[in-house]
């Protein structure tokens, strides 16, 4: 793979672990960056995220020109994009954690609290769980990955859902359309499964 992989630094991601995983997966040139110009010219863009939806959204918007640069690169020029955990949730139209907060709106849906059918099942959903493919996609294969989240992506259109997992009921594990993919699991913590997923992302030509 050639070209820069821009790992967006907006103060809300597990940057060190994601950087190392991308390098292990075969990325020759990863730039941890808060520079919109670099993001605009990158070959691939990765948006990590941990914590609360609103805090991540506010932090991303607070980087001058970053959302606009991402919009131009991803939605206008078709640059491959990966959102991880809250970075995936930000693709939604809104998040419903402590009020209603606007997302990027790239994939229709809302981020809502996990409410297991069995009240004995604890939230957050934490640990290894199955990734069950529901729509064929070149990047997602069946396997086990590491999850850590209390909120989930409730997609409007099932056609945008690539994989699900189960924690007291079905939860979205991956969403995507065109050159955009988001995963609820943490590939950087998912050992071989996660590294192989990242390797496929690095070679992806949607």
As annotated, the active-site residues are: 85, 186, 188
Q: Rounded CA gap, 151 and 144, in Å?
A: 19
Listing DSSP states for 160-200 in one string gives GEEEEEESSSEEEEEEEETTEEEESS-GGGSHHHHHHHHHH
């Amino acid at each position: 793979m050639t070209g820069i992989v821009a790992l967006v630094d907006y103060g809300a991601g597990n940057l060190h672990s994601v950087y190392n995983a991308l390098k292990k997966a075969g990325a020759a040139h990863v730039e941890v960056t808060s520079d919109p110009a670099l993001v605009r010219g990158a070959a691939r863009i990765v948006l990590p995220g941990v914590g609360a939806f609103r805090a991540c959204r506010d932090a991303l918007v607070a980087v001058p020109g970053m959302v606009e640069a991402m919009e131009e690169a991803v939605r206008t020029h078709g640059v491959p994009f990966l959102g991880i955990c809250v970075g995936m949730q930000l693709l939604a139209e809104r998040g419903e954690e402590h009020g209603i907060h606007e997302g990027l709106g790239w994939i229709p849906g809302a981020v809502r609290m996990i409410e297991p059918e069995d009240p004995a099942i604890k939230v957050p959903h934490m640990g290894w769980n199955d990734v069950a493919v529901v729509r064929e996609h070149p990047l997602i294969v069946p396997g086990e990955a590491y999850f850590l989240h209390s909120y989930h992506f409730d997609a409007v259109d099932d056609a945008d859902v690539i994989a699900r997992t189960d924690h007291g009921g079905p939860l979205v594990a991956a969403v995507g359309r065109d050159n955009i993919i988001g995963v609820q699991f943490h590939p950087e913590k998912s050992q071989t499964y996660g590294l192989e997923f990242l390797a496929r992302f690095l070679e992806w030509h949607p």
